[in-house]
Amino acid sequence: MGFADQRFNVNLSILFTELPLLERPAAAAAAGFTAVELWWPWIDSPTPEQSELDALKKAIEDAGVQLTGLNFYAGQLPGPDRGALSVPGEESDRFRANIDVAADFAKSLGCTALNALYGNRVEGVDPAEQDELALENLVLAARAADRIGAILLIEALNKPESPLYPLVSAPAAIAVVDKVNEATGLGNAKFLMDLYHLSMNGEDLPQVIDAHAAKTGHVQIADNPGRGAPGTGSLPLGDLLDRLKKAGYDGWVGLEYKPGDDPSAESFSWLPAETRAAR
């Protein structure tokens, strides 16, 4: 099967960034895709003006693509910041202010997956205090996701690129998933399995898939080294996606890779045009 039997979406926060935000959904559609995902697009504002939300909603609808995943506010992405929900003070407050805004925007477009990045460790703050705050905020986020019929995603990043981020292994992220589900009783917290990040951490990817596919709510891919398109590195991504299918995962696979120096539309040669539209 490889890439031929997957449901791919395009992350518009890392691909098509050579275009203004409102032009990216149409560009993804022109490249043959029918689904997209986004990091929170307003990095300086957890609560943008309604006119900005409406403009992005219209751009997605006019392009005829489905929004399948959205990040809660997470600070500067890409950049040194990774998440806000476990950072005491202003950043945590900004995350909380964003929860219902993001959930309502997702609901308006039928999006059923919301990703909450955990947040960097902060110098001078007890990690236990951050973890307690994180759980409080993740419980709020899980309840908001449940309100709109969505799942809450918890993601592991990689230590070389995010050295202050505490969830840098699949087991670490799964442990948080379990804590959130135990606290809420909702069961809607799931693991976001990013194969690039996990490979950067040196994890055994087949073992991760076999152990955690049942708790996985979303998958993202990029090749390694380089975080480029499949085929630019050495990860056997087709085989890994096959293994995920056999393990029971039938959800979306997000394309979260860097297109390189060429326009994003030229970075999809590895995926035949007839397999890009979700079936």
All domains in the chain, ordered by first residue: 7-265 (3.20.20.150)
Amino acid at 277: A
Beta strands in 40-172 (DSSP E): 66-71, 113-115, 151-155
| Helix residue ranges per DSSP H, the chain | 24-30, 50-63, 90-108, 127-147, 170-184, 195-200, 205-212, 237-246
pLDDT tens-digit readout, 217-248: 999 999 999 999 999 999 999 999 999 999 99
Find tokens 């039928």 and name the residue.
110
238: Cβ–Cβ under 8 A, 6 or more apart, which residues? 1, 2, 3, 230
* pLDDT score of 80 more than 80: no
Place of tokens 């929004």: 67
Question: Measured on CA atoms in the order 72, 76, 79, 84, is the torsion positive or negative?
Answer: negative
Q: Is 55 strand, coil or helix?
A: helix
Read off the pLDDT of residues 47-76 as tens digits, 9 standing for 90 and up: 999 999 999 999 999 999 999 999 999 987
Question: Annotated active-site positions, please?
Answer: 155, 256
148-158 average pLDDT score: 98
Cα-to-chain-centroid distance, residue 237: 18
